[in-house]
């Protein structure tokens, strides 16, 4: 029997995958990918995401401006995200958050838009998908003030065990990407081992971060089983059990699917 998976984070309608998205979708289905959350970060990717969902209902959309781009695109895209949420076209708000590693947008602007997305998610009763890099202290403080006891997932987690504990202490989920397959990612595999089974997601973050055997290639959802296998081994679980529990977690989290 084919093992089924839930890819909780992929940019299918971004400019890198969109030109051959149907081929990517076909390979995903052949690899047992049963659900995908498509992350839309601008007007075009959202419009294409809505069309993609109409054609493939098992591909659902989340939307927000990433912290990298809020300075240039945040103001124009926010109303479109709000409208899509109001029309019931989104399974989540995101990815939003803070990134102080690159700081392509000023910290204050990142923080301002994060607060706006907090309010939108709460108003629409949708979960949040967080991006966070070198900014956990501010993310935790802001969430404790404006997004307490509300659903969220920290996508593509690459932080420390202590930061993972901070995520879990707030009742959030934690998602692991293909980075866990890299030879130098022992600390991330330790985090994957530590996370309670009922709080764990897996993702590709396609087209980025292809797993070890596919390094140098454009990542896609069909590569998810490799990441799942590495995480299952780190946790001492069977691949079947890891796939099942992460799929169940994601279906529970994205309850408006």
The 10s digit of each residue's pLDDT in 140-162 is 999 999 999 999 999 999 999 99
pLDDT at residue 257, rounded to an integer: 52
Give the 3-state DSSP-derived string for the chain, with helices as H, strands as E and coil as C: CCCCEEEEEECCCCCCCHHHHHHHHHHHHHCCEEEEEEEECCHHHHHHHHHHHHHCCCEEEEECCCCCCHHHHHHHHHHHHHHHHHCCCCCEEEEEEEECCCCCCCHHHHHHHHHHHHHHHHHHCCCEEEEEECCHHHHHHHHHHHCCCCCEEECCCCCCHHHHHHHHHCCCEEEECHHHHCCCCHHHHHHHHHCCHHHEEECCCECCCCCHHHCCCCCCHHHHHHHHHHHHHHHCCCHHHHHHHHHHHHHHHCCCC
Query: What class, spelled out in words, does domain 5-253 have in CATH?
Result: alpha beta
The 10s digit of each residue's pLDDT in 153-209 is 999 999 999 999 999 999 999 999 999 999 999 999 999 999 999 999 999 999 999
pTM of the entire predicted model: 0.97
Question: Residue 101 pLDDT > 90, yes or no?
Answer: no
Question: Residue 7 pLDDT > 60, yes or no?
Answer: yes
User: Mean pLDDT of all residues in the chain?
Assistant: 97
pLDDT at residue 104, rounded to an integer: 84
The 10s digit of each residue's pLDDT in 23-64 is 999 999 999 999 999 999 999 999 999 999 999 999 999 999
| pLDDT band per the 50, 70, 90 thresholds, residue 249 | very high
The domain spans of the chain are 5-253
């Amino acid at each position: 029997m084919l093992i089924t998976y839930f890819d909780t984070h992929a940019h299918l309608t971004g400019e890198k995958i969109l030109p051959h998205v149907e081929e990517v979708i076909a390979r995903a289905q052949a690899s047992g990918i049963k659900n995908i959350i498509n992350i839309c970060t601008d007007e075009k990717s959202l419009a294409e995401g809505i069309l993609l969902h109409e054609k493939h209902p098992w591909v659902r959309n989340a939307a927000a401006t990433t912290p990298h781009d809020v300075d240039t695109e945040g103001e124009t895209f926010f109303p479109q995200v709000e409208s899509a949420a109001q029309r019931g076209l989104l399974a989540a708000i995101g990815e939003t958050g803070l990134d102080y590693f690159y700081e392509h947008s000023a910290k204050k602007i990142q923080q301002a838009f994060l607060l706006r997305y907090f309010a939108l998610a709460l108003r629409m009763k949708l979960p949040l998908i967080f991006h966070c890099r070198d900014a956990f202290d501010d993310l935790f403080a802001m969430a404790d003030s404006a997004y307490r006891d509300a659903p969220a997932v920290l996508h593509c987690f690459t932080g420390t065990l202590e930061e993972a504990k901070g995520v879990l202490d707030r009742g959030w989920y934690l998602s692991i990407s293909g980075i866990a397959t890299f030879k130098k990612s022992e600390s991330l595999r330790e985090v994957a081992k530590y996370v309670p089974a009922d709080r764990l997601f897996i993702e590709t973050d396609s087209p980025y971060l292809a797993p070890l055997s596919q390094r140098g290639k454009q990542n896609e959802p069909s590569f998810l089983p490799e990441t799942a296998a590495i995480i299952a081994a780190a946790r001492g679980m069977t691949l079947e059990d890891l796939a099942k529990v992460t799929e169940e977690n994601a279906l529970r989290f994205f309850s408006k699917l």
